[in-house]
């Protein structure tokens, strides 16, 4: 199983959709709240070049936003 990381904020609709998708498919993930964790926010921007959330990293692939078909492909589903 690939490591899954999501950088999110509590009020982000697409972040909630992504986390729900992971839960429905029994995908374990690590979540960082970049609204309150400034260190992880900086890390997210360095990795993605973006301030938008969600930033999702699966294995060594990164995507911004919730693109379900792309995420499924990254997960090998």
Give how far the C-alpha of residue 10 lies from the chain's centroid of Cα atoms, to the nearest Å: 13
Q: What is the pLDDT of residues 38-54, one digit of tens each?
A: 999 999 999 999 999 99
Segment 63-67 shows an average pLDDT of 97
What integer is the mean pLDDT of 11-18?
Answer: 98
Taking residues 47-66, what's their average pLDDT? 96
Cis previous bond, 48, omega within 30:
no
- The reply to whether the predicted model has a pTM over 0.85 is yes
Hey, what domains does the chain have and what are their CATH numbers? 4-75 (3.40.30.10)
For residue 16, name the pLDDT band (cuts at 50, 70, 90): very high
Q: How far apart are CA 4 and CA 64, in angstroms?
A: 13
């Amino acid at each position: 199983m690939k490591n899954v990381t999501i950088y999110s904020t509590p009020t982000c609709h697409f972040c909630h959709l992504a986390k729900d998708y992971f839960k429905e498919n029994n995908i374990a993930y690590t979540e960082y709240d970049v609204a309150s964790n400034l260190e992880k926010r900086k890390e997210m921007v360095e990795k993605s070049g973006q301030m938008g959330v969600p930033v999702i990293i699966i294995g060594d692939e990164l995507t911004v936003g919730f693109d379900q078909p792309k995420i499924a492909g990254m997960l090998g589903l």
